[in-house]
Structure 1
Amino acid sequence: MSTNPSSNPQNDEDEIDLLALAKTVWSKRRQVISITLVFMLIGLAVALLSPKEFTASSTFIPQTSESGKGGGSLGGLASLAGINLGGMSGGSEIPPALYPKFVSSVQFRKALLNAPINVEGLNETVTYSKYYEEVAQPGLLANIKKYTFGLPDLIIQAIKGKSEVTVIQTEEGDLIRLNEEEVKHFKRLEGQLSVSPNVKEGFVTLSFVMPEPLMAAQMTQYAQELLQNEVIAYKISNAREQLNYTEERFKEKKAEFDQIQSRLANFRDRNQNISSATAMNQMERLEAEYNFAFNIYTELAKQLEQAKLQVSKDTPIFSVIQPVTIPTEKSAPKRPLILVIFTILGLILALAYIFGSEFLKGVKEQWNEA
């Protein structure tokens, strides 16, 4: 006859503990139901009072020509004009993973504040900043949050008064001063604008959240164009500087060449029948200056065309996979999910309250017995 005295007592204790917990919950079921119902009502209020939000998005792929191909068929065409594209080195590629850095810059956000949008019920176009400063009305839930959780901030702001924030612009070294309203807009943009690069596939998804579907689509389109322009400007900055420098030198040498050409033509007109050695020497000297200026002028003309081709070669082309469309369904609030979360939270807090009360009651009884 075999027995297992080491395991049965432990199982009995576990069963007793579970039964005791179940009896405790059952005896306090009214409190559990009451607390859960309260949180269900709170969740229902939050779900109904939360403002609607619509999300518009766009997906595009940045494409640039490869520097090692030397321009392809364009290189063969340029070689006929005496331009060697093989020696042209393009700027470094901008990976999609860096696109969120462009969006988070101060210049980009300040430009978004001036984005024109059409608001339902208004006959005029307003900017993003004007909409939130003069048109948009905060809902009841936003006011409750403002005067409850945000009350300490309101008191601090009332004591300190309006303040300004200075932000350092690292790219150009300038200082940008932001007022209080701009800081609020920037914080709101952090939650509305999203740029999600797919490093593996090489595409970028941009989305924008607004209270109305048309406004969401307009802000998405404006942000996409602004982002692409920022990337293009950054990508071709080196080539553009080289082009500007070459254009300035070309204009200078062209003016010098025209002057020397005019001097040589006037000298030839005045000395058609050259007989003296002095006139021959001056003629040769002018012709040498003309040939030298012509060679420099011709070489700069080639470099100018080469610089123009380099700018075109470095300019990224964006292929849009999914264009911006006006959303037909709201993206938030998800009322069923909010209700479920608050219900589960209420149930967990109710059980925690009951078990905590029982635990404190047992500790108190042991303390009194001792």
Structure 2
Amino acid sequence: MTEEIKSNQTAEDEIDLIALAKTLWNNRKFIIITVAIFMILGVAVALLTPKEYTASTTVVPQISDGSTKMGGLSSLAAMAGFNLNDMTGGSEELSPMVYPQIVKSVPFQLELMNTPFSFPEQKKPISFYTYFVEIKKPGILELLKKYTIGLPGVISKVIRGNNNQSMYDEQSTIGYITLTKDQDEVRELLDEKISLDVNDKDGFLTLSVTTFDSKLAAQMANKALELLQNYITTFRIEKASAQLKFIEERYNDNKIEFKKAQAALAEFRDKNKNVTSALARTQEERLQSDYQLAFDVYSGLAQQLEQARIQVKEDTPVFSVLKPVTVPLEDDNSGATTLVIFIFLGAIGAVGWLLGKEFLDTVKERWNEFE
């Protein structure tokens, strides 16, 4: 009995597959037309989609280890009379996991968009902001997107008005940044074009820049890496730099006082070479004491100044470049891939439509049987 049930089930499955194949065969004309339409759409999209090139670089940030600070320099410093490990200014570690937030920060993007680059068909370097606001003309797909999906935003912009008065220069005085509409649009574009991936397992970073021109992508990748290094360096050496500046100011002030005390002692001795009175000796001892105190302070500050300079050098991060930036030769948007995707979507869509239609017809027939 069980074998008979299995046999019936197998026969029903075969009938279903045959029926499915027959349905697709009978509607082959519909499937071919649908695939052809999607193929034409795929060719149009492939031709209208602008080329994009991606330039990337891979670097390894060298993070300092407090237990092995300066290596042999610590021994040399100890021979000079001071200990680097006793310094009050330590380095502030910045986790590489925070680096992507630096790349997406407004100051970083503003600095990058205002950096001059060599653009195709431009005689002299211009900024990314100037090119996309004043020179670049939108493509067909960009216009379609702007006046279809982005139409509400266009209408809203017209109603509110376009305030392009730059407020970025006021950041240092008012404590925050106000962007113009154009600046914000270019910033959003950069946010899409630049990415920084952190491989926390192997400890390396991959910075990628995608633009419409291969050489421009390489230029921007190099500049973005340079800016990232500057931002990280500024954070890492902020404390040590502040201490170095403070010690330099004290050192310069005490250097003047030391020279004054030295000159006063020398002048007194020159004028009183043959004087042996107790008053003269007392005054000489006082000047000698002032000179010695000024010398001790000056000498101590000189040692601290050297310590601070070494600390700044130590805290400065080093990036080892594993993969330098190269000009990409092939664009990211492959026309063949786009065409294959559209053909696949057309075939899947046509088959899905036929199967769905047949399923609905079957449900309708079963529904009518109960009336």
Q: TM-score, normalised by structure 2?
A: 0.88
One-letter amino acid matched to 1:362: T
Match of 1:238 in 2: 239
Partner deviation per Cα, 1:32-54 (whole Å, 9 max, x = no partner):
22222222211111111111112
Secondary structure of 2:94 counterpart: coil
Q: Equivalences for 1:1-370 in 2 at 5 Å?
A: 4-88=3-87, 90-162=90-162, 174-330=175-331, 332-369=332-369, 370=371
Q: Distance in 2 between matches of 1:319 and 1:360?
A: 63
Q: 1:181 to 1:201 in 2, by over 3 A?
A: same
| Structure 1: gaps of 5 or more residues | none
Q: How many residue pairs get matched?
A: 367
Q: Distance in 1 between matches of 2:223 and 2:98?
A: 19
Partner deviation per Cα, 1:232-274 (whole Å, 9 max, x = no partner):
1111111111101111121222233233333334444444455
One-letter amino acid matched to 2:210: V
Return the offset for 1:70. Answer: 4.0
Partner deviation per Cα, 1:304-350 (whole Å, 9 max, x = no partner):
011001111111222222222222222x2111211111122222222
One-letter amino acid matched to 1:344: F
Q: 1:344 to 1:317 in 2, by over 3 A?
A: same
Q: Which moved more, 1:354-363 or 1:175-184?
A: 354-363
Q: Distance in 2 between matches of 1:294 and 1:286?
A: 12
Q: Which moved more, 1:339-348 or 1:199-208?
A: 199-208
Q: Which moved more, 1:74-83 or 1:179-188?
A: 74-83
Q: Which moved more, 1:148-157 or 1:232-241?
A: 148-157
Return the offset for 1:302. Answer: 0.3
Secondary structure of 1:178 counterpart: coil
One-letter amino acid matched to 2:146: K
Q: 1:156 to 1:359 in 2, by over 3 A?
A: farther
Secondary structure of 1:304 counterpart: helix
Secondary structure of 2:201 counterpart: coil
Q: 1:16 to 1:166 in 2, by over 3 A?
A: farther
Secondary structure of 1:138 counterpart: coil
Q: Distance in 1 between matches of 2:200 and 2:2?
A: 64
- Cα contact 1:256–1:293 (8 A) shared by 2: yes
Secondary structure of 1:175 counterpart: coil
Partner deviation per Cα, 1:61-101 (whole Å, 9 max, x = no partner):
22355432342232333333323223246414434333212
Secondary structure of 2:51 counterpart: coil
Q: Distance in 1 between matches of 2:2 and 2:202?
A: 65
Secondary structure of 1:122 counterpart: coil
Return the offset for 1:361. Answer: 2.8
Return the offset for 1:175. Answer: 1.1
Q: Which moved more, 1:207-216 or 1:55-64?
A: 55-64
- Cα contact 1:246–1:300 (8 A) shared by 2: yes
Return the offset for 1:276. Answer: 4.7
Secondary structure of 2:185 counterpart: helix
Return the offset for 1:17. Answer: 2.8
Q: Distance in 1 between matches of 2:250 and 2:313?
A: 20
Q: 1:294 to 1:33 in 2, by over 3 A?
A: same
Partner deviation per Cα, 1:111-158 (whole Å, 9 max, x = no partner):
110122112222111111111122322222222222222223222322
Q: Which moved more, 1:53-62 or 1:300-309?
A: 53-62
Q: Distance in 2 between matches of 1:98 and 1:143?
A: 36
- Cα contact 1:61–1:203 (8 A) shared by 2: yes
Q: Distance in 2 between matches of 1:203 and 1:136?
A: 35
Partner deviation per Cα, 1:197-217 (whole Å, 9 max, x = no partner):
332332222221121121111
Q: Distance in 1 between matches of 2:61 and 2:108?
A: 19
Q: Distance in 2 between matches of 1:321 and 1:328?
A: 20
- Cα contact 1:260–1:290 (8 A) shared by 2: yes
Return the offset for 1:3. Answer: 5.4
One-letter amino acid matched to 1:238: K
Q: Distance in 1 between matches of 2:248 and 2:195?
A: 40
Q: Distance in 2 between matches of 1:289 and 1:122?
A: 68
Q: 1:271 to 1:321 in 2, by over 3 A?
A: same
- Cα contact 1:54–1:216 (8 A) shared by 2: yes
Q: TM-score, normalised by structure 1?
A: 0.88
Q: 1:221 to 1:355 in 2, by over 3 A?
A: same
- Cα contact 2:69–2:314 (8 A) shared by 1: no
Q: 1:173 to 1:31 in 2, by over 3 A?
A: farther
Return the offset for 1:177. Answer: 0.5
One-letter amino acid matched to 2:240: A
Q: Distance in 2 between matches of 1:276 and 1:114?
A: 74
